Each structure stands twice: as structure tokens, then as C-alpha cells.
Amino acid sequence: MDIIFYHPTFDTSYWIKALSEAIPGARVREWKRGDNEHADYALVWHPPVEMLQGRNLKAVFALGAGVDSILSKLKAHPEMLPEHIPLFRLEDTGMGQQMQEYAVSQVLHWFRRFDDYQALKQQSRWEPLADYQREDFTIGLLGAGVLGSKVAEALAPWGFPLRCWSRTRKAYPGVESFAGHDELPDFLKGTRVLINLLPNTAETVGIINKDVLNQLADGSYLMNLARGIHLVEADLLSVLESGKLKGAMLDVYSREPLPVESPLWAHPRVAMTPHVAAVTRPAEAVDYIARTIGLLEQGKPATGQVDRQRGY
């Protein structure tokens, strides 16, 4: 079995060693330009067209939860990866736990009014504030796939009202489910914390805009953990200035790295992290890839295959 590997920033030597140990008998090599030798599987992140084009691969694995970079490249170069070759993404591999940590810590930060106390600290003001009530702190998950379900699971024990919105209705314990564009207004009404975990598709580009944000509860918060392209950043700033939105926590942006001239840097009610909410954990990713390749070699079904039409 031959496996080719390409990632522009990962420690390639670690991955090759770990994959070779996890898949006995496999010949794992780093792909470099000009390598046209046989390969059964390809493990990639932002792959050059020539890496995949013309190969009769058994499967391709994207080394992350998102596959938008591959799908967007396929629009311009459909010959890069024929439809009959399955494309897999890393469904969780430790990302779920990281998303849980990020979301729970930030929700509690807002709920306990630590953002307000930090603002008072900057003014040297000692002023105890009234508590928020859990029943008034409804959390809405925009996107309810694998990562959305993990975040809902982590928030449930804290007693906040939980709701989710997705393409199809879900049946998560203790979570009110909304589905389809017709139910989006009902989902937004009364939501105090909006957490975005949507996949990146043509239908979700710019979905978090002024119209959507203005339908949230007064004094609401936004947490974007999915893709920067989902959020119209100018609209976010406008709604923050109007007072409708009280704060935002952003991990992803329309341009990354975020340009120094972006007004997001200086806004006092925008907190930011540099796309680190959930990163690929090598050991867990290797375990998933090895297990999935084993199933494919036996002709058995495996989870994580991407529906190219849906985009996830």
C-alpha cells in the first residue's frame, strides 16, 4: 500500500513515522513536485492540483474538519479529483473536545459578566453588578453537525436553554431543534448567545449579517468558531455600535492572518484568537486515518466521507 502525504506546515517526518507504525506494511512518503509514482491514498491540506490529478486513488483524506479549500479548487480543476474517488474529512479527532473547552469557557465568561468587570477595571471602578439569570441566557448553535453536537453536550450540564439550527432537524437531548430557512427567525428570536459552527457552503456564505444579528435578543453575543466567510464583518461592527449586540468572540476571519488595518483589532467589545479554537491533533488523526483505511481495504463502510454537493 502506498500513501502520499502533503501539508504545507505540519511536521511531515512525525506524520510519516506515525502513519507507518499505525498501518503496518504501508509505504508512506512525502509528496513533492514531480512525484508521479503510484499511490493508493493521499493525505492532504491545500494540495497542489498536480498532486492528485491523474491518480486512480482509493480515497483522499483532508487533514482537517473542513474541505472547502479542496472543493473550491475542484470548481476550477474538476479533473483534479474525479467524483468516484471518495473524499474524507477528520470528523473529530480531538477537535470536539477543544470546541467544547472554547465554547463553555467563553459562555461562562459572558454569563458571569467578566467582560463587564474587565471594562470597569479599565476605569478603576469597583462596582458589583447584578447577576444574569440562566433562563434568560438562551444559547443558539448555528450548525448542528458533529462539532455542534459536542458543544451542545458540553453546555447542557450548565442549565442554559439550548437550541440549534441546521439544514435538517436534530434530536439532541435537551436541545430545541430548528431546521431550514423558514425556521431561522424563530431560532434567532430570544437567542442571547449565537455560536456559529456551520460548514462552509455556498448557502452559508455571509449568513451572519446585519439582518440576522438584529433578530437576536437585546444585549446578545456572537461566537464565530467556523469560518470567517460566514460573517459580514462590517455588519458585525455596525450592530455592535448600535448596542443591539454586546460583544463578540472571533476565532476566524474573512482574511487570515487578519490584516493590521482591520477595525476588529481595536474594537473594545471584540475578543479574538488566531484560528486556534480546534486544531488537528496528530495522534488522534493518525488513529482515525489508519482505522478508516483498514475499513476501506476490507470493503466496509466508514464515517467521515464528504458529500461534495453539500460541501461537508
Helix 12-22, helix 282-297: angle, nearest 10: 40
Distance CA 59, CA 70 (A): 14
Q: Which residue has the cell 502533503?
A: 6
Distance separating alpha carbons of residues 252 and 255, to the nearest angstrom: 8
Residue type, 302: A
Distance CA 84, CA 208 (A): 34
Q: Which conformational region is residue 53 in: left (phi greater than 0), alpha (psi within -120 to 50 degrees), or beta?
A: beta
Cα separation, 312 vs 304, in Å, equals 9
Residue in 239, 275, 269, 282 with CA at minimum distance from that of residue 257:
275
**Among all residues, which ones are annotated catalytic?**
227, 275
Within a 10 A sphere around the Cβ of 202, how many other Cβ atoms? Answer: 7
Nearest to 66 by CA among 33, 93, 36: 93
Say how far apart CA 112 and CA 132 lie, in whole Å.
7
